[in-house]
Amino acid sequence: MACAMSKLFENKVALVVGASSGIGRATALALASEGAKVVVAARREGEGQAVVDQIKAGGGEAAFEKVDVSVPEEIEALVSRTVALYGRLDCALNNAGLPGDYAPLADVDDALVDRMLSINVKGVYLCMKHEIRQMLKQGSGSIVNTSSYVGLVGVATGAMYAATKHAVIGMTKGAALAYAKQGIRINTVCPTIIGDTDMVSGVLESHPHLMEPLIAQIPMGRVGRSAEVANAITWLLSDAASLMTGHALAVDGGHVAQ
């Protein structure tokens, strides 16, 4: 009689921050399908709870936690509640992010820059800080941060958004080096334009003229799907990527290979 194959995240606990839609949602579902107990964290309670309900309907285990990543106390409490609920924290995706306004730098709104820095940079820093503290207690853990293809290249419109995504890669590399000998792996994914995310759909709704030139930049000739990025994230978080740390993985249809 054949034995059932074990799942990649069997008996593991995952935290997905920014999990109410898009890449975060797809990753939460993928982790659950591979056996993880998943804490779905997001600002939007209705959408986040819907992800939890979908996981449970598929036989998985999950819980929702409402969080604002720019508030230090909320991130610290989120990690504490995750451990109180499931006993540990094995892997985490830090995916919450705010888009830019796609204007040349001299025309960018100062208040928007402050919000982007608070969420895209400080939010990732706070999440890593408290996730790492828990993982150090355990002696192991894996973290993936969501950057962007614009974290690897320059863009004429959206320089400050790109700056926040470059910062994510810098934080990832520095933290990966700091904790490489302590059992913690930290990587980042750099997706191209992903069509089924709120961020992209919102930008294209207000700037519809951008779609055709954006697609023209991608050698594969199409936008990506959240599930495709989630596949890369789950691999990086898993033991299958045990020698991977400090890496910025482009999931981009060849976008930055040009």
Q: Which residues are annotated as catalytic? A: 161
Spatial neighbors of 227 by CB under 8 A, at least 6 apart, are: 26, 30
The answer to whether 214 and 201 are in contact (CB under 8 A) is no
The answer to whether 192 and 164 are in contact (CB under 8 A) is no
The structure tokens listed for 238 are 């898993």
* Residue 151 CA from chain centroid, whole number: 14
The answer to whether 152 and 141 are in contact (CB under 8 A) is no
Q: For residue 4, what is the DSSP state?
A: P
The answer to whether 21 and 46 are in contact (CB under 8 A) is no
* Residue 146 CA from chain centroid, whole number: 4
184-191 vs 61-66, strand pairing mode: unpaired
The structure tokens listed for 176 are 């990966």
